[in-house]
Chains A and B, each alone.
Chain A
Amino acid sequence: MMSRQTSFQLSSLMADQLESLRDRILTAMIRVVGRKGYDATAVADVIEEAGTSRTTFYKHFEDKHDCFLAAYDAMVERVFATVVAECEGEQPWLPRVRKGLATLVEIFSREPELARTALVEVAAAGAEARQRHWDAVARLTAYLDAGRKLDSGADLPEHISTMAVGAVSGLIFDELVAGRTSQLPDLMPDLLFAMLVPYIGPTAAAEEMRRAA
């Protein structure tokens, strides 16, 4: 009885360790791709960064691409969960958008490699990876879409949140490509304007921008 319980605990401990090895590989993949670019990243780089063996890598993943997709999924879940957790207390739409955007910008500026992988390098990782990127954008978009309920007196187009997210990602993308990721928080007022303006118009959005500065 005693020994059975011990062995159960042991195997569950080993399962935890295996899981954490897998997580370490996923984290390493995001970092290395952000640093070296997707094409230049080799499995060898990833296992070195993760401090694991090639055997462990191939126990969990078929190849670099398979691992990248899993890493991308895990990253999206983590980023999304962080944003949602930060926004939960913020009921009205506008403060929720402000908080959500600030959280995203903070994650990106604190983890520049993650930011590059998430927005820039994903383009190099093939159609499936890009689909994941678009799905993540669509999820964020849906989360913000409550803004449509605001009464702006206009018949707003169906794709208005795609526009808002497109404007915001364009600004962020430019900063990443120019290597100014750490300065992203300075861009927060502009990002807020870009996100809000299709819903509330330039005068109100400029007011929010002034307040965020």
Chain B
Amino acid sequence: MVARSQRERLLDAAFDVVAEKGYGATTIADLTREAGISRTTFYEMFEDKEACFLAAYDSAVDVFVRRIAAAFEAEEGWPQRVRAGLRVLLESLAKEPRFARLALVDVGSAGPAAQRRYRAGLQRMTPFFDEGRDFAPDGRRLPANVSRMAIGAVVGLVSDEIEAGRADLLPDLLPDVLFATLVPYLGPAAAAKEVGRG
């Protein structure tokens, strides 16, 4: 029990410190101080700074994906399910702008492993998008990469807002983000219609 809470404290600390100082400037001493643990304890849990940061990243992504999944599952019909999932995504990011920045902007500065983890984290959204293939009139003719494209479009819109310091306004982006998700499956006319259904 104690070990678990130390680990959680350390993961929280990793997020706080990296968000504050940037990944490059963060030292293990910063992490142990912030978490209130010893250096020995740190090395019992993680090999190095990178391993610790990646674990913090993964656990934050887990929380987000679970929240989105819950909202998604609660609805019927793919466009409604996607709308609910995206709403939760945008609201969660707006409530936690620090996480938003770190997860979507600063993660790129934490080295190749973090960059791969970032892309892998995004791909965990794939199941929510892939249902669109069955819903789309011409689903079988869509490219294999279509969910990656939709995710890329959403990430582009969201990252733009975060980078501009407007993370708090992300929920206003729901119509655009929903359109971006639906359009590769349904086309612009049907996507605009779904968005208009509010």
Whether chain B is bound by chain A comes out as yes
Using a CB–CB cutoff of 8 Å, the interface residues on chain A facing chain B are 37-39, 120, 122-125, 130-131, 134, 152-160, 162-171, 173-174, 177-178, 189-190, 193-194, 197-203, 205-206, 209
Contacts of A152 in B (CB 8 A): 187-189
- A209–B189 contact, CB under 8 A? no
Output the least CB separation between B148 and chain A (Å). 6
Question: Which residues of B from 100 to 119 have beta carbons under 8 Å from A?
Answer: 105-109, 111-112, 115-116, 119
Q: Which residues of A contact B163 (CB under 8 A)?
A: 130-131, 134
The answer to whether A177 touches B119 (Cβ under 8 A) is yes
A206 lies within 8 A of B141 (CB): yes
Q: Least Cβ distance of A100 to chain B in Å?
A: 17
Question: Would you call B191 an interface residue if the criterion is a C-beta within 8 Å of the partner chain's C-beta atoms?
Answer: yes
How far apart are the CA atoms of A160 and B183 in the complex, in Å?
10
Q: Which of B5-13, B31-39, B55-63, B173-181 contacts A (4 or more CB under 8 A)?
A: B173-181
The answer to whether A171 touches B152 (Cβ under 8 A) is yes
B143 touches A166 (CB 8 A): no
CB-CB under 8 A from B119, the residues of chain A are: 173-174, 177
Contact of B179 among A124, A163, A169, A170 (CB under 8 A): A163
Determine whether the beta carbon of A169 is less than 8 Å from that of B156: yes
In the complex, what distance in Å separates the CA atom of A157 from the CA atom of B174?
11
CA–CA, A123 and B155, complex, Å: 15
**B184 beta carbon closer than 8 Å to chain A:** yes
Q: How far is the CA of A51 from the CA of B17 in the complex (A)?
A: 39
In the bound complex, CA of A88 to CA of B173 (Å) = 34
- B115 contacts A120, CB within 8 Å? yes
Q: Complex Cα distance A193/B184, Å? A: 9
Count contacts between A and B, CB distance < 8 Å: 148
For residue B153, CB closer than 8 A to chain A, the reply is: yes
Please tell me which one of the listed residues A123, A158, A171 contacts residue B149 in the complex, with CB atoms under 8 A apart: A171
With the chains together, A162 CA to B159 CA distance in Å? 11
Partner of A194, one of B111, B115, B152, B192: B152
B51-94 Cβ-contact flags toward A at 8 Å (1 or 0): 00000000000000000000000000000000000000000000
Q: Which of A162, A167, A200 contacts B160 (CB 8 A)?
A: A162
Complex Cα gap A152–B189 (Å): 7
Interface pair A156/B192, CB less than 8 Å apart: yes
Give Cα A89 to B38, complex, Å.
Answer: 66
Q: Which B residues are CB-close (under 8 A) to A134?
A: 160, 163
Q: A177-B115, A177-B116 are in contact. Are A169 and B152 (CB under 8 A)?
A: yes
Instruction: Tell whether A197 pairs with B184 under 8 Å between CB atoms, given A124-B24, A134-B163, A152-B189.
Output: yes
Q: Are A157 and B153 in contact (CB under 8 A)?
A: no
CB of A171 within 8 A of CB of B148, answer yes
CB distance from A115 to the nearest CB of B (A): 13
User: Who on chain B is nearest to A138 by CB?
Assistant: B160
Residues of B within 8 A of A131 (CB): 163
Nearest CB of A to B79, in Å: 15
Q: In the complex, which of the residues A155, A156, A198 has the most CB atoms of chain B within 10 Å of its own CB atom?
A: A198
Residues of B within 8 A of A200 (CB): 187-188
